[in-house]
């Protein structure tokens, strides 16, 4: 039985085709059937209608850097709760990192993740396999086997690949499978036992610092390796000005390097650590104002390709402790869209480019047939109200975890409907849609 | 005036008036330690709990003497022999202590920010006896009192602080206090201990003789072998060749210079024996003043006026202030600090 | 001076009272042997000093004087809305076996004197303690009595007694002020 869904009254933004117009969207059998001028299609042509008036209709957001914590750390998050957090944030697909327990360095764990994701039936899940066995950084994992099982990239994220020789061979070997190597760039020896960015703040607070050079030095190394080895390098959670400059230069030289940026790295500086706020502790750490300025510029000029959350749930006990001992990371799936909208407005990034960074570009890097909102494409769609004001309440997150520094902040813009494979998997509670104040600013794409 | 703070977590941000009030009060407590019966009944029936996660004899003893001279009951817990070794978290320890209703908790901890963590979660005043590399406020107060007794005022006094400033909580507290009191600060040590951001705190030099030239006060820091990471200096021998305070170096300072050291001394490493025992050293005065300072702090924090709190209300659980970059990260303005609930 | 204030002792009355007290002290103690003066901060000190001066004029003997700060001995610290400033005690002579003349400006509930006695005992064991006050305004809450009184001034509870002295306030007078009716 064909179920159809009509999204009417909305404004479509499709980076792939450049469409930025009011359109009604008809979805059938899990695919985009047609986009038509508003009002053309009779309401009766579909079994279900969604009112998207005042909203943007965009390709479902894609997060290429998420930690779903299952298997092994289900007390922080499960694939089900994580994908629910994703769809609540407008995400229709997430790529999940391998630092689970057991580590995803073999086909069996890859398959297990895919099975759990299918059972949850919410956002699509694309596992990222480990580069090295056990994330130990010593020997290559069975990348081919994992590729057959369905990984879309490899990464030792959580850990840097300290052995330059291994890094070089990983770049070469993955060419066989056209898999990008996603790198967590951190020279551990330079970073030392630092717990926050090294700068004025760390000096005042008496906390050991991680200098920006810990990231920059490793980016430089890997770009040089890339030149020789070929393959595809993707810099995870880039956070430093010099790092962005290195990537910019490498792209100009024609090297196959891409980069991603987290919302917290384009929103907060290391000032957020004031008062020893453990929800401002992550790796790479929040950096200086200069670095924030540079990463925003990097997104604007295309040096940085994608916005990725690095959603890292942790249990309250792991954060409510001395700063030195708190675990690194914050959740991000449910606040990413709002923070990205604010940043885009601040730097003058037009919506077509913003949603490319939040959807299409990640799909291209991961070679996924997603991120496009045009006839015949997969019906992964997010309907966003860009004027809806809401106050972040971490205790109301869909995620199991609450570790966010944005609690209590008033943000603007939110996903109101999320559709995966043509099915409405999430809608914003009616009360939440109405009760928050609406901005009087007209929707102007 | 009164002391408007609920806790003593650090001296950063304290005004000259507040610091002067603290020093004046401490000064008036000195005579109690000169009496035959060294006791006043002021804190009778009050319970003071000290929790030292890091070993210390002198600071803990100083607090104990101070509390007992105020007639308070003093309970001493240490990290090694308590539930901490059984894996209890700081949070649980805090809650357990709070449930026993102490009138003050004195905390020494290896993690910067631990007293602040406690202060947000328990009812009673918290006194920071040293947290990581962050602050050691009572030490800096007794240092300031000792300096004031010898020099009268801080205005335009040149204070040279020598040693591992990067890892020193004594240095930080002193820098914050002396700066507010009007002194000029010079920081001396190998470059590895003096990151570039320190130039906001004072003149920076790696030449000891230049650093102490015409100084009114020289403050020597203990070389904390246990607190360093790696590669800050090659050997202790080489360190002391360049940074040990010898008679020769002292000659470069003003003729009425005073020399301080928080103790315990590493004789021959950061300070020569004959200097430590010499006529310019006020190290023993520091110890005496330490008891007076701690008596004053206990008095001021435990006997807080019951009227409305004059400092910021205690943070509710899960509330933090988070400064956020709004438009350009380059302009220093951030959104006005709001209280935000944190999950 | 406030509207509801009336003067009950002027400068001359204070001077005469203190002269008379000096004579009384010398008469009862049969001279100055073993006598020491301890003034209670802050106005008690000035009165003690004047007493010492009067005694010196009469007997040509200097008796030692010291000052006691009773802040740390008060029984009401946890109630006060201000945080009283501690200024310290300064007694440079032995208390043991001496006849202490404790001096204060106004005797009221008696709690200050109790605190002063506690403080004094921490310094030694006096042979005797006698209390000198410039004004006794009644309303004792503890069994304390003054040995020498400048002037008895019966007061109502809603009145307050102000002692002003040259050394601290620029003039000598004792006034009684009625609290404003609301």
**Residue ranges of B 289-328 with Cβ closer than 8 A to chain A:** 318-328
Tell how strand A61-66 and strand A91-96 pair up. parallel
Mean pLDDT, residues A255-279: 98
Q: What is the mean pLDDT of chain B?
A: 86
Q: Is the pLDDT assigned to residue A43 strictly greater than 80?
A: no
Give contacts of B39 with chain C, Cβ < 8 Å.
Answer: 122
A317–B89 CB contact, under 8 Å: yes
pLDDT of residue B123: 87
**Residue ranges of B 250-269 with Cβ closer than 8 A to chain A:** none
Note whether residue A288 is domain-resident: yes
Q: Is the pLDDT assigned to residue B290 strictly greater than 80?
A: yes
Note whether residue A249 is domain-resident: yes
Distance CA A82, CA A120 (A): 10
Assess A320–B contact: CB distance below 8 Å, yes or no: yes
B113–A205 CB contact, under 8 Å: yes
Q: Which of the pair, A393 or A445, is modelled with greater confidence?
A: A393
User: b/e per residue, A157-176, with b = 16+ CB within 10 A?
Assistant: bbbbbeeeebbbbbbebbee
- B23, B28, B125: best to mutate for the C interface, most C CBs within 10 A: B28
Assess A262–B contact: CB distance below 8 Å, yes or no: no
- Residue A277 and residue A295 in one domain: yes
Helix orientation angle between B169-181 and B137-151, rounded to the nearest 10 degrees: 50
Assess B86–A contact: CB distance below 8 Å, yes or no: no
Q: A162 — phi, psi (to 5°)? A: -70, -35
Assess B169–A contact: CB distance below 8 Å, yes or no: yes
Minimum-distance CB partner of B35 among C78, C80, C122? C122
CA C99 to chain centre: 16
- C71, C83, C93, C94: best to mutate for the B interface, most B CBs within 10 A: C83
Q: Which of the pair, B258 or B97, is modelled with greater confidence?
A: B258
Q: Is the pLDDT assigned to residue B99 strictly greater than 90?
A: no
Beta bridge partners of C101: C37, C130
Distance from CA of B275 to the nearest CA of A (A): 30
Q: Is the pLDDT assigned to residue A157 strictly greater than 50?
A: yes
Q: How confident is the model at residue B338 (pLDDT cuts 50, 70, 90)?
A: very low
Give contacts of C77 with chain B, Cβ < 8 Å.
Answer: 42, 303
In this predicted structure, which of A46-50, B158-162, B185-189, B316-320 has the lowest mean pLDDT? B316-320
Assess A199–B contact: CB distance below 8 Å, yes or no: yes
Give contacts of A208 with chain B, Cβ < 8 Å.
Answer: 133, 229
One pLDDT digit (tens) per residue for chain C, 182 residues: 677 899 999 999 999 999 999 999 999 999 999 999 999 988 999 999 999 999 999 999 999 999 999 988 987 776 666 667 788 888 999 999 999 999 999 999 999 999 999 999 988 899 999 999 999 999 999 999 999 999 999 999 999 999 999 999 999 999 999 876 65
Q: Which of the pair, B123 or A186, is modelled with greater confidence?
A: A186
pLDDT of residue B1: 62
Q: Is the pLDDT assigned to residue B310 strictly greater than 70?
A: no
Q: How confident is the model at residue B325 (pLDDT cuts 50, 70, 90)?
A: very low
- Residue A99 and residue A32 in one domain: no
Q: How many domains does chain A have?
A: 2
> What domains does chain B contain, in order, with CATH numbers?
16-136+288-302 (3.40.50.1370), 137-287 (3.40.50.1370)
Distance CA B136, CA A251 (A): 50
pLDDT of residue C81: 60
Asked which of A341, A365, A389 is the last residue of a domain, the reply is A365
- Residue A44 and residue A67 in one domain: no
Asked which of A311, A335, A365 is the last residue of a domain, the reply is A365
pLDDT of residue A260: 98
- Residue A301 and residue A356 in one domain: yes
Note whether residue A440 is domain-resident: no
pLDDT of residue C41: 83
Using alpha carbons, select from C29, C32, C19, C39 the residue that is nearest to residue C113.
C39
Residues of B with CB under 8 A from a CB of C: 2-3, 24-25, 27-32, 35-37, 39-42, 70, 296, 299-300, 303-307
**Nearest chain B residue to C115, by CA:** B41
Note whether residue A293 is domain-resident: yes
Minimum-distance CB partner of A193 among B110, B229, B341? B229
A405–B334 CB contact, under 8 Å: no
pLDDT of residue B231: 85
Q: Is the pLDDT assigned to residue A363 strictly greater than 80?
A: yes
Assess B140–A contact: CB distance below 8 Å, yes or no: no
Minimum-distance CB partner of B117 among A276, A279, A405? A276
Q: What is the mean pLDDT of chain A?
A: 95
B42–C77 CB contact, under 8 Å: yes
Query: Tens digits of per-residue pLDDT, A178-230?
Result: 999 999 999 999 999 999 999 999 999 999 999 999 999 999 999 999 999 99
Distance CA B340, CA B149 (A): 45
pLDDT of residue B331: 37
Give contacts of C87 with chain B, Cβ < 8 Å.
Answer: 28
Identify the domain containing residue A218 by its residue range.
60-365
Q: Do you find a cis peptide bond into A71, omega within 30 degrees of 0?
A: yes
Minimum-distance CB partner of C88 among B28, B42, B307? B28
Minimum-distance CB partner of C86 among B28, B36, B307? B28
Does chain B reach chain C with at least 3 CB pairs under 8 Å?
A: yes
Assess C73–B contact: CB distance below 8 Å, yes or no: yes
pLDDT of residue B320: 44
B28–C123 CB contact, under 8 Å: no
CATH number at residue A314: 3.20.20.140
**Nearest chain B residue to C80, by CA:** B305
**Nearest chain B residue to A200, by CA:** B197
Q: How confident is the model at residue A440 (pLDDT cuts 50, 70, 90)?
A: very low
| Burial group, residue A397, by CB count within 10 angstroms (0-12, 13-18, 19+) | buried
Note whether residue A441 is domain-resident: no
B31–C73 CB contact, under 8 Å: no
**Nearest chain B residue to C121, by CA:** B37
Give contacts of B328 with chain A, Cβ < 8 Å.
Answer: 293, 346
Distance from CA of C96 to the nearest CA of B (A): 12
pLDDT of residue B80: 64
Q: Is the pLDDT assigned to residue B229 strictly greater than 90?
A: no
Query: What residues of A are annotated to the active site?
Result: 310
Distance from CA of B81 to the nearest CA of C (A): 35
Q: Is the pLDDT assigned to residue B158 strictly greater than 90?
A: yes
Q: Is the pLDDT assigned to residue B66 strictly greater than 50?
A: yes
Distance from CA of C45 to the nearest CA of B (A): 17
> Maximum distance among all alpha carbons in chain B?
66
Mean pLDDT, residues A140-154: 97
Q: Phi-psi region for residue C93, left (φ > 0), alpha (ψ -120 to 50) or beta? A: beta
B112–A402 CB contact, under 8 Å: no
Q: How confident is the model at residue A287 (pLDDT cuts 50, 70, 90)?
A: very high
pLDDT of residue B332: 36
Locus of tokens 């100083």: B62
Going from the C-alpha of A114 to that of each of A66, A310, B165, C36, the distances in angstroms are 15, 19, 53, 94
**Nearest chain C residue to B305, by CA:** C81
| Residue boundaries of the structural domains of chain C | 5-178
Mean pLDDT, residues B13-21: 96
**Residue ranges of B 211-240 with Cβ closer than 8 A to chain A:** 229
Q: Which residues contact A130 (CB under 8 A, 6 or more apart)?
A: A98, A103, A104, A105, A141, A154, A155, A156
- Residue A291 and residue A396 in one domain: no
In this predicted structure, which of A125-129, A140-144, B55-59, B152-156 has the lowest mean pLDDT? B55-59
- Residue A187 and residue A335 in one domain: yes
Distance from CA of B161 to the nearest CA of C (A): 32
Give contacts of A322 with chain B, Cβ < 8 Å.
Answer: 90, 109, 111, 113-114, 117
Q: How confident is the model at residue B84 (pLDDT cuts 50, 70, 90)?
A: low
Q: What tokens appear for B245 in the block?
A: 């305070």
CATH number at residue A25: 2.30.40.10
pLDDT of residue C68: 93
pLDDT of residue C151: 95
Give contacts of B329 with chain A, Cβ < 8 Å.
Answer: 269, 289-293, 296
Q: Is the pLDDT assigned to residue B225 strictly greater than 60?
A: yes
Q: What tokens appear for A138 in the block?
A: 């010593």
Tell me B278's DSSP state.
Answer: S
- Residue A31 and residue A155 in one domain: no
Give contacts of A269 with chain B, Cβ < 8 Å.
Answer: 323, 325, 329
B343–A409 CB contact, under 8 Å: no
Q: Phi-psi region for residue A78, left (φ > 0), alpha (ψ -120 to 50) or beta? A: beta
Q: Is the pLDDT assigned to residue B335 strictly greater than 70?
A: no
Assess A401–B contact: CB distance below 8 Å, yes or no: yes
Residue A172 C-beta-side C-alpha neighbours within 13 Å: 10
pLDDT of residue A40: 83
Asked which of A365, A392, A410 is the last residue of a domain, the reply is A365
Assess C61–B contact: CB distance below 8 Å, yes or no: no
Mean pLDDT, residues B26-44: 91
pLDDT of residue B91: 84
Q: Is the pLDDT assigned to residue A439 strictly greater than 80?
A: no
Please check whether the domain covering C5-178 is classified as CATH 3.10.180.10: no
- Residue A314 and residue A422 in one domain: no
Using alpha carbons, select from C8, C25, C4 the residue that is nearest to residue C173.
C8
C72–B299 CB contact, under 8 Å: yes
Distance from CA of C71 to the nearest CA of B (A): 8
In this predicted structure, which of A54-68, A113-127, A429-443, B56-70 has the lowest mean pLDDT? A429-443
**Nearest chain B residue to A342, by CA:** B326
Q: A237 — phi, psi (to 5°)? A: 30, 60
Question: How many interface pairs between A and B have CB atoms less than 8 angstroms apart?
Answer: 138
C72–B42 CB contact, under 8 Å: yes
Beta bridge partners of A384: A56, A415
């Amino acid at each position: 039985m064909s179920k159809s869904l009509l999204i009417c009254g909305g404004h479509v933004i499709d980076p792939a085709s450049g469409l930025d117009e009011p359109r009604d969207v008809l979805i059938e059998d899990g695919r985009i059937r047609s986009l038509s001028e508003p009002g053309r299609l009779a309401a009766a042509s579909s079994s279900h209608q969604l009112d998207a008036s005042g909203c943007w209709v965009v390709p479902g957001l894609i997060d290429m850097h998420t930690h779903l914590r299952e298997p092994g750390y289900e007390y922080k998050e499960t694939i089900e709760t994580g994908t629910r957090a994703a769809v609540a944030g407008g995400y229709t697909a997430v790529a999940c990192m391998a630092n689970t327990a057991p580590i995803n360095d073999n086909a069996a764990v890859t398959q297990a993740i895919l099975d759990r994701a299918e059972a949850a039936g919410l956002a699509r899940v694309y596992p990222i396999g480990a580069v090295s066995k056990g994330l130990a950084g010593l020997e290559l994992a069975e990348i081919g086997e994992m590729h057959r099982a369905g990984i879309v990239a490899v990464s030792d994220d959580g850990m840097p690949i300290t052995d330059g020789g291994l890094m070089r061979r990983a770049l070469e070997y993955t060419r066989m499978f056209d898999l990008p190597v996603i790198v967590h760039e951190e020279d551990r020896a330079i970073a030392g036992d630092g717990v926050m960015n090294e700068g004025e703040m760390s000096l005042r607070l008496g906390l050991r610092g991680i200098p920006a050079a810990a990231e920059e030095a490793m980016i430089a190394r890997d770009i040089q390796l890339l030149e020789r080895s070929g393959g595809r390098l993707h810099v995870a959670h880039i956070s430093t000005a010099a790092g962005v400059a290195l990537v910019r230069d490498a792209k100009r030289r024609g090297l196959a390097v891409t980069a991603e940026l987290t919302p917290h790295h384009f929103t907060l500086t290391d000032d957020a650590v004031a008062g020893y706020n453990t929800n401002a502790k992550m790796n790479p750490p929040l950096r200086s104002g200069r670095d924030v300025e540079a990463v925003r510029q990097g997104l604007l000029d295309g040096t940085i390709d994608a916005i990725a959350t690095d959603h890292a749930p942790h249990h309250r006990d792991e954060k409510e402790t001395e700063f030195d001992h708190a675990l690194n990371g914050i959740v991000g799936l449910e606040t990413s869209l709002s923070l990205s909208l604010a940043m885009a407005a601040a730097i003058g990034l037009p919506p077509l480019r913003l949603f490319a960074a939040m959807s299409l570009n990640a799909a291209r890097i991961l070679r996924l047939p997603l991120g496009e909102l045009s006839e015949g494409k997969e019906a992964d769609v997010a309907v966003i109200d860009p004027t809806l004001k809401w106050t972040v309440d971490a205790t109301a997150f869909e995620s199991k975890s609450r570790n966010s520094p944005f609690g209590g902040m008033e943000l603007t813009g939110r996903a109101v409907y999320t559709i995966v494979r043509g099915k409405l998997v999430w809608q914003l509670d009616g009360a939440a849609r109405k009760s928050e104040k609406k901005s009087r600013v007209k929707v102007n794409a | 005036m009164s002391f408007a703070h609920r806790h003593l977590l650090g001296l950063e941000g304290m005004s000259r008036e507040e610091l002067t009030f603290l020093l004046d009060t401490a000064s008036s407590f000195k005579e109690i330690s000169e009496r035959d019966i060294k006791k006043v009944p002021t804190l009778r029936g009050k319970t003071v709990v000290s929790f030292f996660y890091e070993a210390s004899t002198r600071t803990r003893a100083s607090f104990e003497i101070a509390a007992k001279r105020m007639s308070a009951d003093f309970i001493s817990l240490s990290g090694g022999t308590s539930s901490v070794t059984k894996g209890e978290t700081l949070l649980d320890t805090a809650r357990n202590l709070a449930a026993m209703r102490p009138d003050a908790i004195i905390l020494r901890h290896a993690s910067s920010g631990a007293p602040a963590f406690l202060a947000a979660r328990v009812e009673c005043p918290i006194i920071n006896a040293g947290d990581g590399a962050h602050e050691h406020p009572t030490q800096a107060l007794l240092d300031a009192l000792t300096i004031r007794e010898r020099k009268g005022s801080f205005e335009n006094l040149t204070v040279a602080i020598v040693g591992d400033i990067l890892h020193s909580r004594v240095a930080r507290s002193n820098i914050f206090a002396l700066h507010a009191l009007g002194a000029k600060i010079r920081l001396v040590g190998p470059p590895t201990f003096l990151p570039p951001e320190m130039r906001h705190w004072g003149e920076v030099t790696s030449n000891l003789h230049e650093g102490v030239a015409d100084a009114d006060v020289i403050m020597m820091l203990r070389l904390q072998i246990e607190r360093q990471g790696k590669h800050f200096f090659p050997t202790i021998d080489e360190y002391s060749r360049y940074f040990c305070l010898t008679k020769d170096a002292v000659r470069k300072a003003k003729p009425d210079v005073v020399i301080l050291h928080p103790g315990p001394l590493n004789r021959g490493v950061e300070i020569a024996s004959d200097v430590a025992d010499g006529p310019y050293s006020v190290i023993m005065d520091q110890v005496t003043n330490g008891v007076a300072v701690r008596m004053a702090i206990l008095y001021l924090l435990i006997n807080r006026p019951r009227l409305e709190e004059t400092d910021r209300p205690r943070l509710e659980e899960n509330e933090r202030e988070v400064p956020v970059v709004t438009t350009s990260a380059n302009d220093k303005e951030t959104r006005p600090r709001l209280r935000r609930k944190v999950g | 001076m406030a509207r509801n204030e009336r003067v009950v002792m002027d400068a001359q009355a204070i001077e005469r009272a203190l002269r008379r007290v000096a004579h009384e002290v010398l008469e009862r103690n049969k001279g100055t042997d073993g006598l020491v003066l301890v003034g209670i901060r802050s106005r008690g000190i000035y009165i003690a000093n004047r007493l010492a001066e009067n005694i010196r004029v009469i007997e040509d003997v200097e008796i030692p004087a010291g000052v006691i700060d009773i802040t740390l001995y008060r029984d009401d610290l946890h109630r006060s809305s201000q945080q009283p400033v501690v200024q310290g005690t300064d007694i440079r002579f032995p208390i043991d076996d001496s006849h202490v003349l404790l001096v204060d400006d106004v005797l009221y509930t008696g709690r200050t004197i109790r605190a002063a006695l506690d403080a004094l005992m921490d310094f030694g064991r006096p042979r005797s303690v006698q209390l000198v006050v410039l004004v006794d305004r009644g309303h004792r809450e503890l069994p304390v009595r003054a040995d020498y009184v400048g002037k008895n001034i019966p007061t109502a509870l809603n009145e307050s007694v102000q002692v002003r002295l040259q050394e601290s306030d620029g003039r000598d007078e004792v006034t009684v002020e009625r609290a404003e009716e609301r």
